[in-house]
């Protein structure tokens, strides 16, 4: 059984006399900054010049500085910028302002694992990665609850990196829910695999293939939308709450039997073999190289694929149908990372 830490395993007083810089004020950034502040931690927010978030952060009572000044003034620097921007900002504004014994912290391991950021040996490097979107990290904290998180230490220069990381986790509330010990390698590789094979890539293609099959057979696109996209949430909610057995208990025995006998014909040994290849590309660094190269060369292929997906018929039909169900829109705030990494 993996190690999991709770409130009693973390000492918030380790952050007394220290200052924490939260770089970025997006999904994760606003939640970390506000939760830490309300936990009594001395926190500032580092933003680029002209950032539209500066006003929001100051209005929330937070000290707002440039990324360079926030780094200079702080002992712990949590980097909550988009993963694709971190290496450049690190080189230009963070690295030159670090002191020996400082902590560089992350909420996802990509840039460390794939060596886009290489902190010098006198810096602590650790991760506290909440397993949920930022708005939930904030909302649950306010309600006295929390989103669970992962903790990992990549580099322990001071000998205190793990304890400092756990104090930070307590500050954002995560030790209320549980903080699971992992490594940068495990967090990054499982996170990428989950989003590629199952959550984003897998689910999206399953929906489109089911929709296309029904429409090609002459059924109304609206009926196809409800059966292959809309109801995915209802089924996933049941699985989330009670596992696969609870889902099967709630659906009809016809649905249950049909699933047992037909599901394995959709997801076959060939699918599983391909999942293995996808995992291999993550482990070898091939996916990371491809994605970094795509970013460096102007995201042409990414934009083409995005347009293709957005132009799909299931999207056009969905827009019309969702407008007729206004209650659905309320939960549809953009969530950048469903799996929370
Ligand atoms: P985000 O896109 O919501 O916010 C990023 C912030 O950085 C914004 O304030 C943006 O204005 C700012 N920014 C963008 N480019 C910049 C630049 N070049 N220089 C300076 N500032 C810049 O990002 P996020 O989703 O909060 O992700 C932050 C980190 O948290 C990532 O490492 C991500 O993998 C990780 N993470 C995200 C989630 C999630 O659900 N969103 C969950 C767990 C971990
Ligand atoms: Mg994730």
Ligand 1 atom at minimal distance to the Cα of residue 336: 41
Ligand 1 atom at minimal distance to the Cα of residue 111: 32
Ligand 1 atom at minimal distance to the Cα of residue 67: 20
Write the DSSP assignment of 283-322 as a string of letters.
HHTHHHHHHHHHHHTTSHHHHHHHHHHHTSHHHHHHHHHH
- Rounded Cα gap, residues 19 and 102, in angstroms: 10
Edge-to-edge strand order for the sheet containing 103-106? 4-5, 179-181, 149-155, 124-130, 103-106, 76-79, 19-23, 42-47, 63-66
The response to whether residue 339 sits with its C-beta less than 6 Å from ligand 1 reads no
H or E element, residue 181:
strand 179-181
Tokens describing residue 293: 């190269």
Ligand 1 centroid, distance to 196 Cα (angstroms):
19
3-class secondary structure per residue, 245-291: HHHHHHCCHHHHHHHHHHHHHHCCHHHHHHHHHHHHHHHHCHHHHHH
Among the listed residues 108, 135, 154, 162, the single catalytic one is 108
Ligand 2 centroid, distance to 329 Cα (angstroms):
23
- Rounded Cα gap, residues 150 and 138, in angstroms: 17
The response to whether residue 19 sits with its C-beta less than 6 Å from ligand 1 reads no
Ligand 1 centroid, distance to 81 Cα (angstroms):
4
**Which pairing describes strands 76-79 and 179-181: parallel, antiparallel, or unpaired?**
unpaired
The response to whether residue 48 sits with its C-beta less than 6 Å from ligand 1 reads yes
Ligand 2 centroid, distance to 223 Cα (angstroms):
31
At 335 the pLDDT is: 45
The response to whether residue 79 sits with its C-beta less than 6 Å from ligand 1 reads no
- Rounded Cα gap, residues 237 and 218, in angstroms: 30
At 1 the pLDDT is: 81
Kindly state the DSSP code that residue 75 receives in the 8-state scheme.
S
Active site residue 312: no
> What tens-digit pLDDT sequence spans the chain (341 residues)?
889 999 999 999 999 999 999 999 999 999 999 999 999 999 999 999 999 999 999 999 999 999 999 999 999 999 999 999 999 999 999 999 999 999 999 999 999 999 999 999 999 999 999 999 999 999 999 999 999 999 999 999 999 999 999 999 999 999 999 999 999 999 999 999 999 999 999 999 999 999 999 999 999 999 999 999 999 999 999 999 999 999 999 999 999 999 999 999 999 999 999 999 999 999 999 999 999 999 999 999 999 999 999 999 999 999 999 999 888 865 544 444 444 44
At 330 the pLDDT is: 57
At 327 the pLDDT is: 82
Phi, psi of 209 (to 5 degrees): -65, -40
Closest CA to 221 of 323, 314, 312: 314
The response to whether residue 82 sits with its C-beta less than 6 Å from ligand 1 reads yes
The response to whether residue 134 sits with its C-beta less than 6 Å from ligand 1 reads yes
- Rounded Cα gap, residues 252 and 258, in angstroms: 10
């Amino acid at each position: 059984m993996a190690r999991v830490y709770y409130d009693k395993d973390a000492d918030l007083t380790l952050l007394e006399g220290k200052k924490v810089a939260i770089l970025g004020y997006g999904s994760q950034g606003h939640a970390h900054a506000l939760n830490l502040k309300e936990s009594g931690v001395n926190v500032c927010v580092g933003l680029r010049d002209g950032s539209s978030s500066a006003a929001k952060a100051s209005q929330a009572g937070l000290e707002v500085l440039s990324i360079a000044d926030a780094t200079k003034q702080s002992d712990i620097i949590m980097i909550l910028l988009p993963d694709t921007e971190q290496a450049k900002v690190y080189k230009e504004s963070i690295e030159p302002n670090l002191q020996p014994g400082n902590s560089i912290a992350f909420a996802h391991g990509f840039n460390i694992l794939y060596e886009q950021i290489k902190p010098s040996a006198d810096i602590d490097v650790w991760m506290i990665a909440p397993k949920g979107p930022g708005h939930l990290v904030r909302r649950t904290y306010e309600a006295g609850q929390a989103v669970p998180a992962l903790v990992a230490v990549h580099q322990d220069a001071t000998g205190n990196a793990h304890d400092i990381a756990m104090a930070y986790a307590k500050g954002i509330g995560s030790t209320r829910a549980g903080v699971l010990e992992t490594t940068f390698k495990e967090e990054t590789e499982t996170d990428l695999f989950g989003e590629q094979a199952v959550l984003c890539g897998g689910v999206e293609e399953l929906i489109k293939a089911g929709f296309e099959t029904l429409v090609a057979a002459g059924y109304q696109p609206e009926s196809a939308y409800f059966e292959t996209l809309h109801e995915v949430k209802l089924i996933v909610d049941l699985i989330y709450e009670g596992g696969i057995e609870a889902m099967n208990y709630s659906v009809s025995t016809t649905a249950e039997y049909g699933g047992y006998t037909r599901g394995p014909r959709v997801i076959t040994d060939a699918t599983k073999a391909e999942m293995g290849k996808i995992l291999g590309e993550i482990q070898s660094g091939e996916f990371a190289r491809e994605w970094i190269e795509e970013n460096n060369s102007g995201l042409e292929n990414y934009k083409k694929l995005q347009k293709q997906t957005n132009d799909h018929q299931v999207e056009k039909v969905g827009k019309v149908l969702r407008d007729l169900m206004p209650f659905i829109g309320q939960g549809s705030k953009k969530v950048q990372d469903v799996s929370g990494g």
